[in-house]
Amino acid sequence: MAEPGELPGRLAVALREALRARFPGVELGLAEPMAGGASRATWRVALRGGPPEHPVVVVRTNPEGAPPADLALEGRLLDSAHRAGLPVPAVLAAVPGPPAALVLTFVDGEVLPRRVLQDPVLAGARTVLAGQCGEALARLHRIPVEDLPEVAARPQLAQGGAEAQLAMVRRLLDDLGQPHPALELGWRWLADHPPPAGPLVLVHGDFRTGNLIVGPEGLRAVLDWELAHLGDPLEDLGWLCTPAWRFGSPLPVGGFGSLDDLVTGYERAGGRPVDPGALAWWIAFGSLRWGALSTLQAMAHVRGARRSLELAAIGRRVCETEADLLDALDQLAPLEGPGSEDGADPVATVDDAAGIEPAGARAGETGGWLPHDLPRAADLLETVAEHLEEDLADQVTGRQRFLVRVAANVVRVVAREVRLGPGQEAEHRARLAALGVADDAELALALRDGRLGAQDPRVRRAVRAAVAAKLAVANPRRLQAAGSRAPGSAERQG
């Protein structure tokens, strides 16, 4: 991405021509890269000599090699959404390219999830935001699909309801070739218990905290429309309620609101009546989908397509989404029968799965037969993490500070694996052997082909214990929070 103040030469020329067709004499000022959506590059560009109501515009461009039609369709989607009454940036100009670009109005407000969920200035907004999101989605889902026939022709996106979305995840998991028994268990149960089919409507595809511009009065704009497709309307509502987009908040709708407010706003604005059980299915599917997509991002790093500290860290956080998926299944399909009572299998308890270490092990004080002097490897890694977080983080700002903290977290993950890994491996082997499988790949295959059932208490508890072990290394705070919640104490998804 170019430095602030620069635009690629061909893009700058094309933008100037397109803008002057609407605003004669306008000149391009400072251009600043912005955080974009799933695939587009996004710029905030100042205008000189333009209309006073548009001192700044937003420019979105296609990644290299993408067809211009995709960006043109996004422009038509935004126009249709605007006419339907959704809060979206207005399209000021379209550049057919190459390079293709859209020029949009700049909408001021907050996008960063942590600020949306915690900034005191937005406290009032958080009380109305869930209802406003419901209203916006109802208006979106009422747009006649025949107005945008190109949406249904996008081959890169899964078109259709639950069956099509499950097939998309199935292809993704198969292509990745990475055994994730928790994801396979979730996929198996969701595929065996599909929700009633809803009508195919225009869905946003990524309607969530982080893609919403929020001001003190509430929702100001919905961003990032490149994943729009035809689907079940509850796909959008369920995705907004997926735990990953709550960012640690207990509130089920995007981390800021209640299901009652979301559904009331949706139905009040003309959305179809919401089936609570079907919505709960789509929330669970959201965790399945995000788990698969997170694995895809991690494998881009592992396989060298895009070496990235951030993507590497995401790979070790897939277990958090697996835990969310298992929690959702516990709500949708509580275990019954022998071995299903709480605490029946001690290997599934928080303490055992965490592989609680003996006193002194943290600093390597127990000696042993290793020929190395103190400090031990885990303590060295912890010391590096402390240096990164306590000494270096304050020396940098912005994204670099974020990456320093990511690096410190990654080092701590390695340190915990060094300490806990050997014991966890022995326990995991015992769990797999009790199920009659040799490894995670065989367990995943057995769940996929039905040899082991998603409702078998032995399987559910073994998979839960494995996810707990991964959380003990990747994010013990998430594990401790799960252990402090009584079963069924969370707000019911229906």
**Residue range 1-5: mean pLDDT, rounded:** 46
Ranges 52-66, 68-82, 429-443, most confident: 429-443
Q: What is the pLDDT of residues 467-480, one digit of tens each?
A: 999 999 999 988 87
Residue of 359 and 252 predicted with greater confidence: 252
* Residue pair 265/156 in contact by the 8 Å Cβ criterion: no
Residue of 87 and 95 predicted with greater confidence: 87
Q: What percent of the chain has pLDDT over 90?
A: 61
- Please state, in angstroms and rounded to a whole number, the distance separating the CA atoms of residues 94 and 103: 6
Ranges 31-45, 61-75, 129-143, most confident: 129-143
Give the 3-state secondary structure of 93-129: EEECCCCCEEEEECCCCECCHHHHHHCHHHHHHHHHH
Q: What is the pLDDT of residue 275?
A: 97
User: Comparing 47-56, 148-157, 484-493, which segment has the lowest mean pLDDT?
Assistant: 484-493
**Residue range 395-410: mean pLDDT, rounded:** 87
Q: What is the pLDDT of residue 266?
A: 98
DSSP annotation of 78: H
Nearest to 166 by CA among 327, 281, 243: 281
* Residue pair 32/43 in contact by the 8 Å Cβ criterion: yes
Q: What is the pLDDT of residue 250?
A: 96
pTM: 0.87
User: Comparing 75-79, 276-280, 318-322, 359-363, which segment has the lowest mean pLDDT?
Assistant: 359-363
Q: What is the pLDDT of residues 203-260, one digit of tens each?
A: 999 999 999 999 999 999 999 998 999 999 999 999 999 999 999 999 999 999 999 9
**Residue range 323-348: mean pLDDT, rounded:** 71
Phi, psi dihedral angles at 271 (to 5 degrees): -70, 155
- Please state, in angstroms and rounded to a whole number, the distance separating the CA atoms of residues 53 and 188: 53
Q: Which two tokens stand for residue 184?
A: 């396979």
pLDDT score of 98 more than 90? no
Residue of 483 and 321 predicted with greater confidence: 321
Mean pLDDT, all residues of the chain: 86
**Residue range 347-372: mean pLDDT, rounded:** 44
* Residue 309 identity (one-letter amino acid): L
